[in-house]
Amino acid sequence: MTDYSSLDFSPLVEISGDEVVTHCFVRDVPLAAGRTLALVTLDNGRDHTRPNTLGPVTLLEFAATLDELTARAGRGEIHGVAVTGKPFILAAGADLTKVAEIPSLETGKLLSQLGHHALGKLDTLGVPSFVFINGLALGGGLEIGLNANYRTIDAAVPAIALPEVFLGLIPGWGGAYLLPNLIGIENALKVIIENPLKNNRTLSGADALELGIADVMFTSARFLEDSITWADGVIAGTEKVSRPNAPGKVERLVKWDVAVGVARKMLVNRIGEVAKSPYVALNLLQAAKSGTRAEGFQREDEALAGLISGDQLQASIYAFNLVQKRAKRPAGAPDKKLARPITKVGVIGAGLMASQFALLFVRRLRVPVVITDLDQARVDKGVAYIHDEIAALQTKNRISPDEANRLRALVTGTTDKSLFSDADWVIEAVFEELGVKQSVFAEIEKFVSPEAILATNTSSLSVEQIGSKLKHPERLVGFHFFNPVAVMPLIEVVNTPQTDDVTLATAMVIAGKLRKNAVITRDTPGFVVNRVLAKLLGEAMHAVDTGTPFEVVEAAVAPFGLPMTPFELLELVGLTVGAHVLDTHHAAFPDRFFESDNLHKLAEHGKILERDGKGRRTGFDKGALKIVAGGTTPMTAEQILQRVEDGLVDEIKRMLDDDVVHAAEDIDLCMILGAGWPFQMGGITPYLDRVGASERVFGGTFHTPPIRGIGAAVPAASAQN
């Protein structure tokens, strides 16, 4: 077994640079009967906006502190050790800011080993160890707790989780071994694998208690006092700790492998087999069934070293930073102070999309929202839909009865456009046709003030042309949502040459109030997400049209690891919409985008995939197969993959040269938030760089240096797996 104390961790310290060190402060707390508890506070000296993190210097200080406490315990000076955090925060996990700078596989491995070296000491103090989980505890932060003998938790903790798999990592400071042995394999699978993949879901204090992560929970008002009293009882032997979820013999013999097998199937189904870290975690969890703690830790060292040296982790961290940081400070956004206050919203259209807008606006802005349409019947139907949705929210206890009343009273419908006169934000969601949108805005402009901001949800038309008949085109902006409106976190805010800064600033502020991430794009066909998707879908349909079987096309793009295949995506957005998107892009860029007659026929037919009663796909629809039969020049999967990769590089390069968005980062952000493209690809451009496509197409890379792991010495073509 690895003797962690014999390792030289200086290579990690060398790259730790400006680490914000989380210090360990020790104070003695008197217990009953003259005993003493050494209470360790983790505190980086900053406020709660800069959580404690665990970098190399921090971990070495933690290890030294525990060594000293072990010596004190040996001398009988202390009878227990407890670790807690600064207000609201235990620790937010490993400091990953330097992961991109790790120079070698060995250094990467040291990162895991240092965690085991430091946190592992909580098990060898010679006296009981406790972690009082007083606040946020993520990843390595929670693993501090898992390494201790006992845990208490504050009922008010905002979030605890092991999100490593979400980031392309595994819980490698003991978590993958300790957690299943503490709370059972099924619970551990949920925490380590399922939750990170469910949009990085986190646990509450009550969840942690129920799962058995914490032994006991106390309310926040006296959390530390109660935790100390409880620890006193445990040390004195008066407090008995029971762990009903800890796995017994039967679970290990019978349940363990079965549960892992079920989880593996679920994983393959849900995310395919491209993303590595969930499977690495799964294997570690399986192995945690038997063997010693030291063996488990050593497996984690190997596993983590492999992931740290790989490409997916670097891409994931890049993606994570985009979502966490760049999304919050959108490139090119004007000063927020320019934004106009919005006190009333008008929605033109009362169809499904329009009603969804109205619901979102009234929920988030809580201002009057008036909807309109051609006739009263459509308006009534729209208002009824919104009222039903509000009632549904109330039934699910998502909003109180008072809030429901408030929202219902704010939503009105009318065919009298004069009721729009005091709206300061008017958004349309009418039929996707230039003439219709032009005349709708021209009409509403007669009623609203000259400053009222007009927003269009077009996905494929030129916003500038939509505004060409306006007296004040400077107050028109594109505001492109993704379906389903309530769920998808992206809005493309389309800035035309006429759009003024006040309008743009208002659109950005409104997007923020709707709790969406906004990316500013130029007024070019398809903006970002649809243009990139049109490239992919166009190539996929083109391959089908030339006679390539559906399954070959699906297999061809499988190495991307996308959340769904091109044909699943087409069915999701609707085949008619899909065909329309391809047509629009073909019309705009006829030499680069394919249109597909077959897709129109498939749309008329209604489906591509064959599904069982529960909606699970079982194959390809026979009618669909008949429609696309007849192509005579099928391609191989390799050919298709290269066409798609190269085509995406070409298109994205053009978009950047044309300044559709300011940087490749914004393209990636759009694809992650608007299309759910995976972190392991870094959105799209890190992937295109690492497979060599960028090099093939324009002799360079989108990112310099490319976003790759240190294992990148292997040839690009084989680095995908």
Partner 1 sequence: MAERAEVVFVDGVRTPFGRAGEKGMYWKTRADDLVVKAIIGLMERNPGVPPERIDDVAIAATTQTGDQGLTLGRTAALLAGLPKSVPGFAIDRMCAGAMTAVTTMGSSIGFGAYDLAIAGGVEHMGRHPMGFGADPNPRFLSEKLVSEDALNMGATAERIHDRFPTYTKERSDRFALRSQQKVAAAYSAGKIQPDLIPVATRSESGWGLATRDEAPRPETTMEGLATLRTPFRSHGRVTAGNASGLNDGASACLLASAATAKELGLGVKMIMTSFAFAGVEPEVMGLGPVPSTEKALRKAGLSITDIGLFELNEAFAVQVISFLDHFGIDDEDPRVNEYGGAIALGHPLASSGVRLMNQLAHQFESHPEVRYGLTAMCIGLGQGGSVIWENPHFNKKAAKR
Report the interface residues with partner 1, using CB under 8 A: 25-27, 29-30, 39-41, 43, 84, 87, 219, 221-225, 228-229
Query: Which one, 219 or 418, has the nearer CB to partner 1?
Result: 219
Pairing label, strands 23-30, 36-43: antiparallel
Candidates 647, 668, 463; CA nearest to 538 is: 647
Residue 134 CB, nearest approach to partner 1 (Å) = 9
Query: Which one, 37 or 60, has the nearer CB to partner 1?
Result: 37
| Lookup result for tokens 């492999």 | 306
Query: Which one, 79 or 378, has the nearer CB to partner 1?
Result: 79
* CA-to-CA dists, residue 478 to 370, 456, 482, 523, 718, angstroms: 20, 5, 13, 8, 42
Q: Report the interhelical angle of 550-557 vs 529-545 (nearest 10°).
A: 140
Query: Which one, 84 or 524, has the nearer CB to partner 1?
Result: 84
Q: Report the interhelical angle of 175-183 vs 277-287 (nearest 10°).
A: 50
Q: How buried is residue 173: exposed, middle or buried, by Cβ count under 10 Å (0-12/13-18/19+)? A: buried
Q: Give the C-alpha separation, 541 to 556, whole Å.
A: 13
Q: Where are the alpha helices (DSSP H) in 309-399?
A: 311-324, 352-365, 376-395
How far does Cα 281 stand from its chain's mean position? Answer: 19
What's 69-119 look like in SS3? HHHHHHCCCCCEEEEEEECCEEECCECCCCHHHCCCHHHHHHHHHHHHHHH
Query: Which one, 41 or 496, has the nearer CB to partner 1?
Result: 41
**Angle ∠(514,518,524) on CA atoms, nearest 5:** 130
Query: Which one, 65 or 680, has the nearer CB to partner 1?
Result: 65
Q: How buried is residue 220: exposed, middle or buried, by Cβ count under 10 Å (0-12/13-18/19+)? A: middle
* CA-to-CA dists, residue 91 to 82, 110, 145, 590, 700, angstroms: 15, 20, 10, 54, 40
Task: State the first-to-last Cα distance of the chain, in angstroms, to the nearest integer.
Answer: 30
- The token pair at 555 is 């297999």
Residue 447 CB, nearest approach to partner 1 (Å) = 47
Q: Give the C-alpha separation, 113 to 10, whole Å.
A: 12
**Hey, is 327 helix, strand or coil?**
helix
Residue 403 CB, nearest approach to partner 1 (Å) = 18
Query: Which one, 43 or 67, has the nearer CB to partner 1?
Result: 43
Residue 32 CB, nearest approach to partner 1 (Å) = 10
Q: In residues, how long is the chain? A: 721
Pairing label, strands 150-154, 517-522: unpaired
Residue 30 CB, nearest approach to partner 1 (Å) = 6
Query: Which one, 154 or 666, has the nearer CB to partner 1?
Result: 154
Candidates 280, 214, 290, 281; CA nearest to 256 is: 290
Residue 158 CB, nearest approach to partner 1 (Å) = 18
Query: Which one, 238 or 721, has the nearer CB to partner 1?
Result: 238
Residue 176 CB, nearest approach to partner 1 (Å) = 30
Q: How buried is residue 307: exposed, middle or buried, by Cβ count under 10 Å (0-12/13-18/19+)? A: buried
